[in-house]
A and B are shown apart, each in its own frame.
Chain A
Amino acid sequence: MSVPLSQMWAVASYVVTQRLAGRTRYPLVLMLEPLFRCNLACAGCGKIQYPAQILRKHLTVEQCLSAVDECGAPIVSIPGGEPLMYPEIGRLVKELVARKKYVYLCTNALLLTAKLEDGVFEPSKYLSFSIHMDGLRDEHDEAVCREGVYDEAVPAIREALRRGFRVTTNTTLFDGANPLRVREFFDAMMDLGVEGMMVSPGYSYAKAPDQEHFLRRRRAHELFTQILSGPKRRWKFNQSPLFLQFLMGKRDFECTPWGNPTYNMFGWQRPCYLLQEGYAATFQELMETTQWEHYGRKSGNEKCRDCMVHCGYEPTAVNHTFASWRGFRDTVAATVTGRF
């Protein structure tokens, strides 16, 4: 595992505090979307299809910080849209780091080198660039619907690492992914020197342009088993090993839709990062008035049936780690042995 000890400790102490306080529903990662604008239009993305006036809008830094304080999660992930297009991304990150939030800035890296050269960011243990990389050159450029993106992202990763930043990758896999190529991709990312990798199957966004390649559950288990069986010792993942076991079909978790709550210009998104069934004005309203029993696989909701995405199941895996000695033991064992 590649998650730094200080970050593990922050998350562990937060979870234990919540459990001791008797809270059954609490957030782990705030998904903060300051804007929907993006400089790519990826085939599997359902996040950026909005009229022009919405794409021109963005949250203020004060709105973002207010949401962060309201939510209280120890980790803040900044997806989007493309967060490096957010005019105040430097100030936002600085404020989050000052609050000792662990920040994952999710970017396609097309603007990263320029931002680094402009001195927009300072290295910190609290800041990690999470670079969107969906595979080796051919697969990545195909996924983002533009030639040359992989070849722009790789030098940006090198530059961020050279400057002392934490760099991770996030990879979404779709039906048709070649397991051997994915394993080669993991090698390539480790060769680059990234701290760790995150993988997840894509969610079947109703609004995504490509509706043909979303993974169904059984196929996802097969694919991740092929990819992750006999993992190389050098591969490092910036996510729970229990979540990876879940992807392989070795564990049967239920979704924790409140684990990664989402805030954007529309408010607090119900019920999760992926489904858009309405918005609450406050985090408290989101938690208290969302009909959580209508979501997750066991609910029978067909929109949740095949979903195995990290934003719902990684919180379950983390909670499982701290729910019993067995969960803790399994996590430690997978972390130490590097086997799933």
Chain B
Amino acid sequence: MKKSGELQNSQQAASKKITRQKVLLGLVGVFVVLLAVLPLFASGFWMRTLTLLFLLAAMAEGWNFIGGYTGYAAFGNVAFFGIGAYGTALSMLRLHFPFFLALLVGAAAAMLFAVLVGLPVLRLKGHYFAIATVALATGVGEVADFWTDFTGGAAGLTLPFFRPIQLSNYFFYYMAFVLVLFGLGLTYFIMKRKLGYSWLAIREDEDAAKMMGINTTWSKVVAFALSALMAGLAGGIYAYWNTFVLAEEVFKIEYTLQMILATVLGGPGTVFGPFIGAFIYYILITLLVFFLPVGQLHATILGLIIILVMVFTPQGVMDFLSGRKRLTLSALLENIRTHKV
């Protein structure tokens, strides 16, 4: 009797979860359609802002593979962005590749780097892994900055403009937009498959995952390489859009922080979390910088908001959107307790 009651309960919970998922999926669908037709109405300013936002969302989707699903706190993903940017730019300038081919070369270079670096570095765990990735990203940035013969060094690389120039805004808007959709599709595709389950298992308990037959090294390297793919593509698009590549610009550690923040704000380890989180991050930043008369305090206030979000919803807003938790005071307090604040 008790068993069938429990069964019913869990079935009810499951069906409720499914309807909620459908609603969420519908909302995201409407939103995506709106974004697809937006360039018909929007000004150049908004299109450029959204293009940047999409590039961030795409990188966050990539970070979500290694940081969100696999649970490895990668703090150097900007390296992939930078390598993608340099790879694309150098292929276009030195090899005279057309943009799309150059973009693929840039992304492939980022992935190759992720594999080579991932094999040793992904053996580290926790803080050690995080520190190693920071060091690597900084190191690659330095190489790009000082290897003047190859990368142009401090003078940077100047790329040709996209032509016809009046379509430039549209081209890059849709490039970035398609990249975001590709990221969503890729995430959904993987998480329905064994690879996705292996990431979750590694995140939850790597020893148990190993013992259950998961080749953890391979799974982790793939996660790292796919996060490099997303960041590398974003970097390549950014390079051509910006028509200028400079090491201290494309290897800025802020980009890593931004992708982590977007993922964490939205919901790490969820399909839509990084996408939603990128919007939340941009809305916060834009509000603070442009519309609040707080001067140089905006970074402080952003930091404060992030701390509050982390304390109250460590799983990001997806926790509430997906119905896993209800937005109630007790849920928030429970989150604080689990944080041992």
Are A and B co-members of a single complex?
no
Q: Which residues of A contact B (CB under 8 A)?
A: none
Q: Which residues on B are within 8 Å of A, measured CB to CB?
A: none
